[in-house]
Structure 1
């Protein structure tokens, strides 16, 4: 399997742009490299998301449909580039989607900016198409397999055992909130505060599941990624409930920590900083050191 790095992503982007009739993206600016490589094409004012692998094609297709559905219900969301069909372009099997570039941010998004967007999302009826569950742990095997030979096999075995344990525990959870549509990765980094207010981004994990998923994310961010306690209190006050009061909180937190540690593994090949972060996360999980700070990738 070819490594998914910036060079590979640019080749895939060039093929997708050619298929879509867009200009040569030689000067495209890389914005992010994770599950997707995200590029600003410059002119036209379009952002492209290049999927890490062909297995993400259905997710990319669903994300385009979700964006149109949410916009139709008045939820401020990033919009697909309407000059193209509402389907991913495929480049050697990798899905590539194109989105309107948003106006420059007025300021960085804060946790409290997320609360009204989640309120709007959580009040929606079910969409006219199927949404899957938010299975945090389903990709763990793929992420760990992509790091084979680059991370300690004992760490891989440890994360697999955690995955199995939390998968079983999550199946027994009793929700406090009504189950329904969720964002699935509800973090301030997935909110853009433009001239017209906050806009919701990165819709690829929108699902039908426990709405507590959308609230555990920020609670974990306060614990692991340094979100200030005051910002977290503003968020829970605006939303109207603190998920840490829910008996199932520890289970969803543990599942998300397991997924987050495993996610970094795919970045470890050729990236010493990612490998160090992977080890930091696994070591803190092994020892139960919930106060150890994690760093975003």
Structure 2
């Protein structure tokens, strides 16, 4: 979906206090995110995202009832406009500072003690998109690399199914990174609730361990995260399995951009080479 199409859907939805052409575009990906006045509107790319939009709104209502600081829904049901799901949110105040790992740890402590909500949460399917991303990469990547990632996917999927968790399984954010925390005048709140799942709590913690090892997070920042949360997932015997699954998915995700972007192709090749070499210290770069 391009911006023009998203604005057409936004206009047809009629949910903003200003004309769609005056709304500010905040992000453009699987969703186009617009802001105007006190509202934010997310326009999904197609009807396949309707169930996810419905679940995200349910999560927002549930978190509000539980008192967990998170983005709040302005409307509790999605609209389907011209084949696209549309959700309406209360706009957050301007950030007072960038979110830090300790902010995320505080919020995860709140989420990880919650019981299951009164609606179904899916499992965290880390590896579910690998085949689609590799298919989109096509001839832009070495077929041997694609085969290698498929084999890793299958191996880690099998291994993950047999893990014994350290923490009680339950609701997780699913993409627990500081970028999904907004720090306003009243403190940090969770945003981007689309990946909320019902699964091993360790999923949320492995993300940060991988950030330390692969993406340049300082050891001090990671230590603060684990201190605030109260546990270091690297002490768990299953950490390497979930880490390997996430690394595999991250490689495949970059691969889909390789046909049109030489930098993505180079980053993909760097990542795959580090996995083949078993070198967990090679720096990966966000893409």
1:287 Cα offset (Å): 1.8
**1:218 & 1:292 partners in 2: Cα distance?**
16
**1:27 & 1:265 partners in 2: Cα distance?**
35
Change (3 A) 1:90 1:222: farther
- 3-state DSSP class of the match of 1:244? helix
Counterpart check, 1:182 vs 2:172: yes
Q: Provide, for residues 87-111 of structure 1, a one-character-per-residue CA deviation record: whole Å limited to 9, x for no partner.
A: 14344x4433332221111100000
1:56-205 matched pairs, under 5 angstroms:
56-82=49-75, 86-91=77-82, 93-205=83-195
- Whether the 8 Å contact between 2:50 and 2:80 is mirrored in structure 1 is no
User: What is the match of residue 272 of structure 1?
Assistant: 262
User: What is the match of residue 12 of structure 1?
Assistant: 6
- 3-state DSSP class of the match of 1:148? helix
Gapped regions of structure 1 (runs ≥ 5):
none
- Whether the 8 Å contact between 1:30 and 1:37 is mirrored in structure 2 is no
- 3-state DSSP class of the match of 2:182? strand
1:155 Cα offset (Å): 2.2
**1:261 & 1:90 partners in 2: Cα distance?**
34
Change (3 A) 1:283 1:125: same
Counterpart check, 1:262 vs 2:252: yes
Cα RMSD over matched residues? 2.0
Aligned residues: 286
Change (3 A) 1:275 1:38: farther
- 3-state DSSP class of the match of 1:127? coil
1:15-26 matched pairs, under 5 angstroms:
15-22=9-16, 23-26=18-21
Counterpart check, 1:223 vs 2:183: no
- 3-state DSSP class of the match of 2:33? strand
User: What is the match of residue 40 of structure 1?
Assistant: 34
Greater displacement, 260-269 / 223-232: 260-269
1:9 Cα offset (Å): 4.3
Q: Provide, for residues 32-61 of structure 1, a one-character-per-residue CA deviation record: whole Å limited to 9, x for no partner.
A: 444x244333x2343333435543321121
**1:62 & 1:52 partners in 2: Cα distance?**
16
TM-score normalized by the length of structure 2: 0.92
